[in-house]
Structure 1
C-alpha cells in the first residue's frame, strides 16, 4: 500500500514548474545525479574568455552558466530559442552587460560576419556554416553536446521508440561536419556517464523539462511502465540510464 501511495504522490511531479535551465529541484535534493566526465566545460571556457574581446553563448537557457563566467570581455552576446527562457535570461544577463537575442533557428544568427572571437555552446544545436561565418579568423568554437543515444533506456522502459532524428549525432559525425566547413579540430572527447533517478517523480520532472527525450509522451498511456520503474527503484534504490556526451574545441581556419 505504501508503494502505491508514494507512486500517486510522484505522479504529481509533472505539475511542478520548470524555468530557465535549472534542474536544482531534483539535483540539489539528491533525487537525480549524473556521473562525472573527464573534462569540465566551465574550466575549459574560463581561460578562453580571458583571451578574447568578444564572445557569443549559444543557447544560454536562463543564463545560468554564462552569468558565472565573469569577468566578461568588451562584447558579450547570448542567444536563446526557447521563448519562456528569454525573459529569464534577459533579467539575469542584461544587468551584466550581456545582449540577449531571441532566435528561431540556429542556422540564421542575427550577427554580422566575423563578429566573435569565441563562440561557446553547451547542449545547443548549431549550424557549422553559421558558426564559421560569425567567428573571426582563427576564432574558437567550444561545444559540449548531448549525443543521439542519450538516456535511451528511458524510452525503452516506457515503451517508446528511441528518437531516430538524432541517432546519427555523435562525435565522429560532428567532427567531420566541422572539418568539412573549414574548421580545425583541436580537441575532442566522447563519454557515456551514468545518470540515476532515485524516485519516479524525479524522472517525470526530467521528462517534462526535456520533452524531446520521449516525443509524444503521454502520462496516462504509460502508467503501467511508470509503475514498473517505480517498483524497480523501490527494489534497487535507483533507475539508471546511460548519458551520451561529447566535447569539441575547434578553430576557424
Structure 2
C-alpha cells in the first residue's frame, strides 16, 4: 500500500497537471493575486479598437485580451508564435472575423508597409520598434502594456539567487523603450509605469506561474527545484503568502504624418 501524498505533493502535482496555453490566468483564482495597473489596459485597448479600421495585435497569446474588446475593426489580425496558442487564439477569434497568423517572436512582421492604423500588444516578449513603425500607417498608433524591468524578481531570485541589473538587460526599462521607439520614428504620446504587489498563497501557484511564464526561471522543472519548492511551501504555511512585485508600463506612440 502506497504512502499517502503530503499537501506539498498534492499542490505540486495539481499545478504540474494544469494546462498552460494562452493568457488565461483564471487557474490562479483564490491561490494568487496581482494588483492591476491603474490605467486599465483592456478597457483602453477596447476603446481604441472601436475607432480603428485595421488593427494588429502582436503576440496575442490565446487571444483572450483581444477577444475582450466589445468591437473589433473590420480588419483585425493577430500574431502568435507558440503553436498551442495559435490554435487556441484561432478558435477564439475566428468566429469574430479576426485572422490569427503564426509568426515566430523576433521574426519580421509578415505584413505590408502601412497596413494598420492601430497596433496593440499586451506583454510582448520584445517590442520590435522598427517593424511596428513600418506596419503602421501615417498617423497610426501603437498602444501596449509592457512588462517592465525586474518584474517578479523576488520569485526569480528565490530560485536563482541575487540577480544584477545586467541580468535583466535593461531592455525592458521604459526610458530605454522610449528612446528606441523615438529612434524608430515614433512620437511618444503617453508613458506610465507602476510596480504592483503580487501574492502567492500556496506552492502550487508558484509552480504554475513558473510553468506558464517560462522566462522567469529558464528550464524550470519541479524535480530540479524540489528542495527549494518544499522550503518555500513550508515558509508560506508558516508565514503566509510569498510576496513579489510585478513591473508594468503603458506606452502609447504615434507615427507622424508626412
TM class by shorter-chain length?
Answer: over 0.9
Matched, 1:134 2:135: yes
- CA deviation profile, 1:92-114 (whole Å, cap 9, x unmatched): 11111101100013440111001
3-state SS, counterpart of residue 243 of structure 1: strand
3-state SS, counterpart of residue 105 of structure 1: coil
Who is 2:28 aligned against?
26
- CA deviation profile, 1:84-135 (whole Å, cap 9, x unmatched): 1111111111111101100013440111001100000100122101000000
TM-score calculated relative to the size of structure 2:
0.91
5+ residue gaps, structure 2:
none
CA distance in structure 2 between the partners assigned to 1:71 and 1:60 by the alignment:
16
5+ residue gaps, structure 1:
none
1:159–1:225 Cα contact (<8 Å) kept = no
Who is 1:85 aligned against?
85
Query: Which aligned pairs between 1:200-211 and structure 2 lie closer than 5 A?
Result: 200-211=203-214
- CA deviation profile, 1:200-250 (whole Å, cap 9, x unmatched): 011101111111100122322322221221122112221110111111001
CA distance in structure 2 between the partners assigned to 1:217 and 1:167 by the alignment:
23
Report the count of equivalent residues: 248
Who is 1:94 aligned against?
94
1:107–1:127 Cα contact (<8 Å) kept = no
1:160–1:214 Cα contact (<8 Å) kept = no
CA distance in structure 2 between the partners assigned to 1:88 and 1:216 by the alignment:
24
CA distance in structure 1 between the partners assigned to 2:101 and 2:168 by the alignment:
27
TM-score calculated relative to the size of structure 1:
0.93
3-state SS, counterpart of residue 6 of structure 2: helix
Select between 199-208 and 214-223 the one with higher mean Cα deviation: 214-223
Q: CA RMSD in A?
A: 1.7
CA distance in structure 2 between the partners assigned to 1:76 and 1:43 by the alignment:
17
